[in-house]
Amino acid sequence: MNLRLFYEFLAIHPTLPLQYRLMSSFPDPVGRERVTQLLADWRTGSKEALDLLTPLVYDELRRLAAHYLRNERNAATLAPTALIHEAYLRLAAQELPDFESRSHFFGVAAQLMRQILVDHARRHRAAKRGSGLAPASLNEALSFAPERSADIVALDDALSELARQDARKARVIELRFFGGLSVEECGQVLGISVATVGREQRFAEAWLHRHMTA
């Protein structure tokens, strides 16, 4: 069947798992084509494309994040996976996307995910500094300790540093954790074996840990 229609069904079908129904903002193929085009433009350096893209994807990521964090035990693992995959299903204009556009998409989406999370943390940190607001509740204070936002920014910096030394390792981290790709998918996108992904990831994680704690 027409795959486009299918994802639109997903958005509203009442017997569906909630995560699918949450997605409802880009059901139109033209909307999706536009997003896909923007992703491509952004990748080739268009700052304007990112400005246009972010609000579109933001909304979606946010609602999905909320859903996963509330419903899944292992939110940290599931969230990015689900986000990117669902975003892909919903954003990609191709009906039966070929391998290249698929990996292209995941690569770009992981980057975008990273950027959105880091920008958000940066803004949040700046806002907190500016207003000096205390956390709204004890609960919030516990679960969102203020250094958290610094952490993702530090991770981002460390990752950029790693990329300068060894770009592939940084890509592995980005795809695996910001893109939520499985080891196999990550291997496919980068054209390396599963074993290599595992090795790259292990070393990169150790390196990032050391770099950030040193």
Partner 1 sequence: MTPERWRRIEELFHQASEMAAESRAAWLDGACEGDKDLERQVLELLASDDEAGGGFVEGHVGAALKEFDAAPAPAPERRAGPYRLVREIGRGGMGTVFLGERADEQYHAQVAVKLLRTGFDTDFFLARFRRERQTLAQLQHPNIARLLDSGTSDDGMPYIVMEYIEGQSITDYCARERLNIEQRLSLFLPVCAAVAHAHQRFVVHRDIKPSNILVDTAGTPKLLDFGICKILATEAAPDLTMTTGATMLTPDYASPEQILGDPITVASDTYSLGAVLYELLSGCRPHRIEKMTPQAIERAICGEDPPRPSAVALRREDSRRLAGDLDTIVLKAMQKDAARRYASVEEFVADIRNFLEHRPILARPDTIGYRAAKFARRNRGAVAAAVALTFTLSAGLLATTREARRNERNFAIARSLASSFVFEVHDSIGVVSPTKVRENIVRIGLKYLDTLSAGASGDAGLQLELAEAYRRIGEVQGNVMAANLGNTAGAMASYRKALALVEPLPASRASLLSEARLYRKIADIEIYTKRPMDALAVLERGVAAGDRLLRIDPQSAESRSAVAGLHLTAGRVKRMMEDRQGTIDTARRAQQVLMAGGGTPTDPEVRALVAESFAAMGTGQMMLGQPKEALDNFRKAATAWDGLCGQAPANVEFQRQRMLAYSHVGDVLGNPSYSGLNDRAGARDAYRVMMDTALSLHRADPHDHRSAVDYGIATMRVADTEDEAGRKAKLFSEASRALTEVVRGDPRNRLARLNLASVERRLGDVIVGSDPAGARAAYQRGVRVVEAMEWSEPAAERVGVELYRSAALLALRQGLGEEARDYSDRALRVAERIVASPSSPLLRFVSVPKAYQLRGEAMEKLGDAASARQWYERAVVAWGRASAMPGFTDRYRDEKKMAERALERLGGRAAR
Q: What x-and-dash track marks residues 14-43 binding partner 1 by CB under 8 A?
A: -xx---x---xx-xxxxx--x---------
Q: How far is the CB of 111 from partner 1 (least distance, A)?
A: 14
**126 belongs to the binding site for partner 1 (CB under 8 A):** no
Q: How far is the CB of 109 from partner 1 (least distance, A)?
A: 14
Number of residues binding to partner 1, judged by CB under 8 A:
75
Give whichever of 1 and 138 is closer to partner 1, judged by the CB atom: 1
Q: Token pair for residue 111? A: 């980057």
* Sign of the CA dihedral running 13, 14, 17, 22: positive
**93 belongs to the binding site for partner 1 (CB under 8 A):** no
**129 belongs to the binding site for partner 1 (CB under 8 A):** no
Residues 6+ apart with CB under 8 A from 43: 104, 108, 111
How far apart are alpha carbons 7 and 91 in whole angstroms? 10
For 179, 195, 213, the CA distances from 150, given in Å and listed in that order, are 21, 32, 13
Q: How far is the CB of 193 from partner 1 (least distance, A)?
A: 5
How far apart are alpha carbons 202 and 187 in whole angstroms? 14
- Phi, psi for 141 (deg, rounded to 5): -60, -35
Interface region with partner 1, contact rule CB under 8 A, candidates 41-49, 84-92, 101-109, 195-203: 195-203
Q: How far is the CB of 59 from partner 1 (least distance, A)?
A: 9
How far apart are alpha carbons 60 and 112 in whole angstroms? 13
Q: What x-and-dash track marks residues 148-167 binding partner 1 by CB under 8 A?
A: xx-xx--x---------xx-
